[in-house]
């Protein structure tokens, strides 16, 4: 099908309209997103609330499709409105024009992450309502801000408040990621995030001397130990093809600070590490190991956790979870090949699981390069429309479970 035929598709046009809203960091203005979603809610004849869990400039949009048994725990279909920055010189298409080529490929920031999913929810509900279907459970569509900067002003605050409690949520569905083969990944857990800053204090002096116990020597010792641990995780991946990066602990040095000039041995060096901890790793054991390495290096090393998330229990993917059973059965019935994974990054599902609510991550995108946060992010029109059909099956399965 050529692009002219795709351009006449109502759902494609709605999707491209949403993509053209530059809700991009930093300093996102969500006004246009809220207005767009208000029009969508109105076209579906569904009520919409705008709540501000933390501050007026960070709205959460909630569209409600009331079920026939509203006392049952509800379903959340979550997505985020914000997108990451772009390097325009690296794009071959305007990242906020939602240009579509002759093959029906739509280029835009947010095409995969994750304005596609937010619009597919709406399209599936539009199709379901047209058949006269009404869910048993109430279905909420939530559109949150600032997920790409940690979610502190969005889902992290929303789950703490009375508004969320009044929603009586039983299950949440959120984003996954694309698959480059024919399968569809399903994410039932996330690794635990730490941002650890190590401050190395040592002997200072003239650069011509061989001083003992310098900050650099301590830094090198600890860095070697951390990189050795990192290599062990890479080796696990290399030796077991059934594993992916979400199944091991990743550790990366992301910042180094210190020193004033070339002939002065600095009294302090600082290093920041991004650590994503596998769900099978004991957190206390890992922290103790790092502290032991710091002691072995000679002491005088301070550990500061800029981020230290707690371990959050994975969502159960067995018969004890009726939502999982309904979810998996519906995908099996339409012949989708699926794989269960631990999400390698972080999503708002973390905050939902943290308050004890099961959550799954899923984006109906396969046979597509993983381009979230990358240049020339795109999604094919046919893939987008097929995703709507998947949600037409999934939403009733979950809402009527």
Residue among 11, 82, 247, 377 flagged as catalytic: 82
Tokens of 324: 């999982």
Within 13 Å, how many C-alpha atoms sit on residue 396's CB side?
16
Give the pair of three-digit tokens for residue 226.
């951390």
Strands annotated E in 146-262: 169-174, 184-190, 192-201, 205-206, 250-258
Active site residue 147: yes
Phi, psi of 136 (to 5 degrees): -75, -50
Backbone angles phi and psi of 310, in degrees to 5: -80, 165
Instruction: Point out the catalytic residue in the list 146, 147, 175, 247.
Output: 147
What are 388-393's contacts with CB under 8 Å, separation 24+?
Answer: 388/11, 388/120, 388/123, 388/124, 388/127, 389/124, 389/334, 390/331, 390/334, 390/336, 390/364, 391/120, 391/121, 391/123, 391/124, 391/364, 392/124, 392/127, 392/128, 393/330, 393/331, 393/333, 393/334
Give me the active site residues, please.
Answer: 82, 147
């Amino acid at each position: 099908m050529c692009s002219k035929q795709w351009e006449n598709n109502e759902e494609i046009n709605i999707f491209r309209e949403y993509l053209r809203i530059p809700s991009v960091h930093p300093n996102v203005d969500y006004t246009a997103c809220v207005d767009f979603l208000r029009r969508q809610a109105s076209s579906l004849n569904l009520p919409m609330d705008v709540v501000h869990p933390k501050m007026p400039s960070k709205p959460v949009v909630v569209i409600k499709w009331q079920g026939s048994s509203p006392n049952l725990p509800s379903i959340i279909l979550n997505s985020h409105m914000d997108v990451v920055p772009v390097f325009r010189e690296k794009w071959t298409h305007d990242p906020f024009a939602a240009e579509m080529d002759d093959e029906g490929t739509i280029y835009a920031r947010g095409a995969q992450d994750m304005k596609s999913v937010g619009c597919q929810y709406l399209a599936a509900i539009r199709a379901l309502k047209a058949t006269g279907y009404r869910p048993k459970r109430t279905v909420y569509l939530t559109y949150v801000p600032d997920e790409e900067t940690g979610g502190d002003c969005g889902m992290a605050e929303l789950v703490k408040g009375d508004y969320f409690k009044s929603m009586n949520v039983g299950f949440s569905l959120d984003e996954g990621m694309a698959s480059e083969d024919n399968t569809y990944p399903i994410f039932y857990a996330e690794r635990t995030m730490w941002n650890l800053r190590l401050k190395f204090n040592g002997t200072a002096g003239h650069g011509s001397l061989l001083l003992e116990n310098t900050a650099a020597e301590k830094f090198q010792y600890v860095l070697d130990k951390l990189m050795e641990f990192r290599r062990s995780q890479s080796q696990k991946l290399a030796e077991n093809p059934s594993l992916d990066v979400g199944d091991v602990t990743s550790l990366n040095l992301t910042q180094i600070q210190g020193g004033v000039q070339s002939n002065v041995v600095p009294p302090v060096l600082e290093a920041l590490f991004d650590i994503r901890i596998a769900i099978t790793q004991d957190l206390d054991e890992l922290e103790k190991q790092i502290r032991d390495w710091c002691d072995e290096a000679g002491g005088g090393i301070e550990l500061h956790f800029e981020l230290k998330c707690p371990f959050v229990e994975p969502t159960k993917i067995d018969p004890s979870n009726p939502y999982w059973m309904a979810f998996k059965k519906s995908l099996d019935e339409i012949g989708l090949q699926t794989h269960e994974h631990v999400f390698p990054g972080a999503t708002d599902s973390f905050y939902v699981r943290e308050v004890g609510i099961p959550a799954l991550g899923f984006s109906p995108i396969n046979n597509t390069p993983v381009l979230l946060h990358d240049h020339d992010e795109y999604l094919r029109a046919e893939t987008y429309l097929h995703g709507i059909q998947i949600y037409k099956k999934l939403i009733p399965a979950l809402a009527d479970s």
